[in-house]
Amino acid sequence: MSAEKKHPNVPTPHITAKYGDFAETVLMPGDPLRAKFIAENFLNDAVLVNNVRGVNGYTGYYKGKRVSVMASGMGQPSIGIYSYELFNFYGVENIIRIGSCGSFDKDLHARDIIIALGACTNGNYAAQYNLPGTFCPIADFSLARRAAQLCEDAGVRYKVGNIFSSDTFYDDGNSGMQWAKMGVLGVEMESAALYCNAARAGKKALCICTVSDSFIYPEENTTAEERQNSFTAMMKIALELA
């Protein structure tokens, strides 16, 4: 049977790749330029497989293993679309988000890593499932455990715990520090939707974030160029996971 008959939704409105163009594991930064940086600096024989709306997707090889990297854009609706299509239409089994985040934690500094075991959210993404309660979006434990071990082996400073996936970057008078009272380590904008999609599809997902900004140490905050090109420790850990 042809790929077209087996996968009638491919290509999608957002991804023009053919079925089979993506590897089993996809690394997913938010920034398309970070995806391009990873493809050009870490993958061998990387091929551009998607560029709809400038959302670069590449497939190549890392240490002989076929790996893909594609941007998610910003926010839960954006990563919700791309991860849903990859999981459900392109046969992807694992998505590893490699993003940046703000830190609420006094023990975390710029360029430290958060491995998001769970994702709190102020968003409404999980409402679509009509569950009789509150769903807790969580990472795949096998990926999280392996990521923590890779951080240990590499001597990278990290913490494992909850992250906050916010639907708003500019909150009206809310700094987000209320979440720190509950032990939440930091804030980003995508993980909860990714974890929901993985759970619903029966697939695996993990969010690894590099601290780009700190609510505790604002003097350490990084630039856009640094976020794009210098968070290589996180990139290498994700590639080793793949």
Q: Which two tokens stand for residue 10?
A: 């491919």
% of residues, the chain, pLDDT over 70 = 95
Is the per-residue pLDDT at 3 higher than 50?
A: no
Q: DSSP letters along 194-233, please?
A: HHHHHHHHT-EEEEEEEEEEESS-GGGPPPHHHHHHS-HH
Is the per-residue pLDDT at 4 higher than 60?
A: no
Mean pLDDT computed over 170-197? 90
Relative orientation angle of helices 232-241 and 32-42, to the nearest 10 degrees:
70
pLDDT band at 98 (very low <50, low <70, confident <90, very high): very high
pLDDT at 106: 94
Is 21 a known active-site residue?
A: no
**What does the alpha-carbon distance between residue 134 and residue 48 come to, in Å, rounded to a whole number?**
39
% of residues, the chain, pLDDT over 90 = 80
Can you say whether the dihedral through the CA atoms of 23, 28, 29, 32 is positive or negative?
Answer: positive
pLDDT at 10: 83
**What does the alpha-carbon distance between residue 165 and residue 152 come to, in Å, rounded to a whole number?**
26
Is the per-residue pLDDT at 240 higher than 70?
A: yes
Peptide bond into 11 cis (omega under 30): yes
pLDDT at 19: 95
Mean pLDDT computed over 145-168? 96
